[in-house]
Amino acid sequence: MQLAFILYKYFPFGGLQRDFMRIALECQQRGHQIRVYTLIWEGEIPEGFDVRIGPDKAFANHRRNEKFYRWLQADMQQQPVDRVIGFNKMPGLDVYYAADGCYEDKAQTLRNPLYRYSNRYRHFAGYERAVFAADSSTQILMISEVQQPLFVKHYKTQAERFHLLPPGIAKDRQAPSNAAEVRAGFRSEFNLQDEHYLLLQVGSGFKTKGLDRTLKALASLPTEQRERTRLMVIGQDDPKPFIVQAAALGISKQVKIFKGRSDIPRFLLGADLLMHPAYNENTGTVLLEALVSGLPVVVTDVCGYAHYIADAGCGQVLSSPFQQKQLDHALSTILADPPLRARWSENALNYAKTADLYSMPQRAADIILAESP
């Protein structure tokens, strides 16, 4: 079949983008043709992918999206496809990969009522309705159970249209046989001594991922602990507000912020604790990447994948409502307890051997390629 995959932006380091790539490659390996419609493509194009870049000039995001949608519809009319798979919400999809939460619920609970009179609201709510409304036939690939009740509440979406996928952690995130050697080399490269603690935070969208909370927790540590602790942050976002915050907290020398990069497994093996105190998170792929590499985790319970950390017994899940003092205390306690971290690490590696954390691309391809998607 000729498959059309649609996403607004592709870059190698986003969670949605990595999932798209692995699903598209799985479909290609099964003998199908891959066409991609996008506004922005960064990075290499896989052999055999037909990537078509749409118009991206507009005064507002919702206007840009509408212009892009009209363009791709015209293109597919000239060169039809057998199936349309969207990684962003829009009309006309056969299959939608639900990486984002329920927009309508956020609009009703987190916004001023006047917001729902805006053109922006009408656009995003309309595109979401086109996917989830009861009169739609779009099949929905869910990567977290957290949001499904909200879609049903607002749109009366039929249960049989939802397909809950297992996680899809790349095998290269698993701890290799020479993990100790990789860790030692990494820590030597970054001048980390045995007595140093390395905190790691990974994810584009620093505000949503709770980087401000992590910085406050680092600054709150007792003096001796704080001086021995380093924080490395990796993600595609503007670091300036957080550089300013770190300076105000007096921890600039201990914080290093990197742009997105491809060698995350080295950081997972070299760190002592993954910090993920997110404000909201549909899933949180990095939580499972840390788990399969044996890195203990501190995470808020609003993250869709936080239950895996609890199930594996490999970290601490902070309960809602979030309290900064709870995070501060957790960080200090965990750093002061090496046997606890070692036990969590062992639990994680044991869990990773038996749990299905890897088959998402295969299952997604099964649904996309089904006779009646």
User: What pLDDT is recorded for position 368?
Assistant: 98
Q: How far is 364 from 345, CA to CA, in rounded Å? A: 30
User: What pLDDT is recorded for position 144?
Assistant: 85
Cβ atoms of 15 and 1 closer than 8 Å: no
User: What pLDDT is recorded for position 372?
Assistant: 58
User: What pLDDT is recorded for position 331?
Assistant: 98
Q: How far is CA 38 from the centre of its chain?
A: 19
Q: How far is 186 from 315, CA to CA, in rounded Å? A: 23
User: What pLDDT is recorded for position 146?
Assistant: 83
Q: How far is 269 from 180, CA to CA, in rounded Å? A: 8
Distances (CA, A) of 302 to 127, 208, 267, 317: 25, 11, 24, 9
pLDDT digits (tens, 9 = 90+) for 15-44: 899 999 999 999 999 999 999 999 999 999
Per-residue b or e along 72-81, where b marks 16 or more CB atoms closer than 10 Å to that residue's CB = beebbeeeeb
- What is 171-354's CATH number, 3.40.190.10, 2.60.34.30, 3.40.50.2000, 3.30.1540.10? 3.40.50.2000
Helix, strand, coil percent content, the chain, rounded in steps of 5: 45, 15, 35
Q: How far is 274 from 159, CA to CA, in rounded Å? A: 35
User: What pLDDT is recorded for position 56?
Assistant: 82
Of residues 52, 10, 1, 54, the one with CA closest to residue 31:
1
- What is 2-166+358-368's CATH number, 3.40.50.2000, 2.40.33.10, 3.50.50.60, 3.30.420.40? 3.40.50.2000
Cβ atoms of 89 and 130 closer than 8 Å: yes
DSSP state of 6: E
Per-residue pLDDT of the chain (373 residues; tens, 9 = 90+): 999 999 999 999 888 999 999 999 999 999 999 999 999 999 999 999 999 999 888 789 999 999 999 999 999 999 999 999 999 999 999 999 999 999 999 999 989 999 999 999 999 999 999 999 999 999 999 998 889 999 999 999 999 999 999 998 877 788 999 999 999 999 999 999 999 999 999 998 999 999 999 999 999 999 999 999 999 999 989 999 999 999 999 999 999 999 989 899 999 999 999 999 999 888 899 999 999 999 999 999 999 999 999 999 999 999 999 999 999 999 999 999 999 999 999 999 999 999 999 999 999 999 999 975 5
pTM reported for the whole predicted model: 0.83
Q: How far is CA 106 from the centre of its chain?
A: 19
Q: How far is 235 from 331, CA to CA, in rounded Å? A: 22
Q: How far is 363 from 273, CA to CA, in rounded Å? A: 31
pLDDT digits (tens, 9 = 90+) for 220-266: 999 999 999 999 999 989 999 999 999 999 999 999 999 989 899 99
- For the chain, residues classed under CATH 3.40.50.2000 are 2-166+358-368, 171-354
Cβ atoms of 13 and 236 closer than 8 Å: yes
User: What pLDDT is recorded for position 283?
Assistant: 87
